[in-house]
Amino acid sequence: LFDIIDAINVGRMVGSGETWYMALINGFFCGVLVFLAVHIHKTAKRTWVKYVGLVFFITTFVVFGTEHCLANMFFFSIGGSWNIALLLNVILVIIGNSLGAMFAYTLNYL
């Protein structure tokens, strides 16, 4: 168990070395993808479309390595690696996630 926690800790510490604008951009794209997954799941009429849309967009979000604020908080906490730089990273990712979701929501109603 401690090997897993150490691996998560090292991975997140390396990942947190990104610039502030990359955290914001990765958060933005994550917000768009998560919004699309949830929106398709909520609005699709057919059950299979709901789940295909959900799996497609969430898989895309994971494969592209975009940043999700809740996932970051989980990884930082389980790794026991909270510091001011990681707190600022989470704040930037929250802003990016929010802007991305608002952008996708706005495009949906144009």
Predicted confidence at residue 86, as pLDDT, reads: 87
- If one counts the domains in the chain, the total is 1
Q: Enumerate residue ranges in the chain where pLDDT < 70.
A: 1-17
| Contact by Cβ (8 Å): 79, 73 | no
C-beta separation of 87 from 20 below 8 A = no
Number of helices (H), then strands (E), belonging to the chain: the values are: 5, 0
Looking up tokens 């502030």, which residue turns up? Answer: 20
Name the residue range of residue 77's domain.
2-13+22-108
Give the separation between CA 69 and CA 94, rounded to whole angstroms: 5
Say if CB 99 and CB 62 are below 8 A apart. no
Q: Measured between alpha carbons, how far is 38 from 76 in angstroms, rounded to an integer? A: 25
Task: Report the CATH number at residue 97.
Answer: 1.20.1080.10
Whole-prediction pTM: 0.80
Single-letter residue type at 17: G
pLDDT value for 35: 97
Q: What is the pLDDT of residue 49?
A: 96
Copy the structure tokens of residue 58: 């969430």
pLDDT tens column, 80-95: 878 888 889 899 999 9
pLDDT given for residue 14 in this prediction:
47
